């Protein structure tokens, strides 16, 4: 199993690589590579799209680096891919972060800021541990093997998705938003599995095992 973590100058690649290596250490013949060459993507069995920062900047980096086109081709191949934090948000059609920006469009829905009027005393960004709840679709998905229907993950974000048709797990922060999404071979996790201890490592291990 050959897995690529995409390097497009956005995100903490080392922490994702270390967590993924630890999560997959019991799985034989698994190699993890930080990949910056878009022409190499089809050589891999799975790819991971990490990311921190602003949506528009990230999409520009993907475009300039050639990764955007390569990711779209990879997605068409049916091979599994996973977006983490900002990487999950990039999977959607659009974001309103610092203007209107088009995303990869691999999942239907938009990324929008938390509605402060509905948060009460809750602060933005949403930082810390919060409980996630599997949807009915999530309960059927092998990404969650070995996990309970409710579990805690670590979040750091100011923007979220609320209207996706592909929600596998939800979270509450003033109101409900999408914590984990997926359709066919495309998955996205809003919180940071690499910072979420046993549950996050189990999610990464399950992704490798898909």
By annotation, the residues acting in catalysis are 85, 192, 194
* Residue (of 72, 59, 68, 64) closest to 101 by Cα position: 59
Q: Which long-range contacts (CB under 8 A, 24 or more apart) does 136-143 make?
A: 137/166, 137/167, 137/168, 138/167, 138/168, 138/169, 138/180, 141/168, 141/182, 142/206, 142/209, 142/210, 143/168, 143/180, 143/182, 143/187, 143/203, 143/206, 143/207, 143/210
């Amino acid at each position: 199993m050959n897995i690529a973590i995409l390097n497009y100058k956005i995100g903490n690649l080392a922490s994702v690589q270390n967590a993924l290596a630890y999560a997959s250490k019991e799985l034989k013949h698994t190699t993890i590579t930080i990949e910056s060459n878009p022409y190499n993507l089809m050589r891999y069995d799975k790819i991971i799209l990490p990311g921190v920062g602003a949506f528009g900047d990230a999409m520009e980096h993907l475009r300039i680096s050639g990764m955007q086109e390569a990711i779209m081709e990879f997605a068409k191949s049916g091979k599994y891919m996973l977006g983490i934090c900002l990487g999950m948000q990039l999977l959607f059609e659009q974001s309103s972060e610092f203007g209107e920006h088009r995303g990869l469009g691999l999942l239907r829905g938009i990324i929008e800021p938390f509605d402060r009027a509905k948060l009460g005393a809750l602060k933005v960004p949403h930082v810390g541990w919060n409980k996630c709840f599997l949807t009915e679709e999530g309960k059927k998905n092998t990404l969650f093997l070995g996990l309970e229907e409710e579990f805690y993950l670590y979040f750091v974000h100011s923007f979220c998705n609320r209207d996706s048709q592909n929600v596998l797990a939800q979270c509450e922060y003033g109101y409900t938003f999408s914590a984990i999404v997926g359709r066919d071979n495309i998955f996205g996790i809003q919180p940071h599995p690499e910072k979420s201890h046993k549950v996050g490592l189990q999610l990464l291990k399950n992704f490798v095992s898909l």
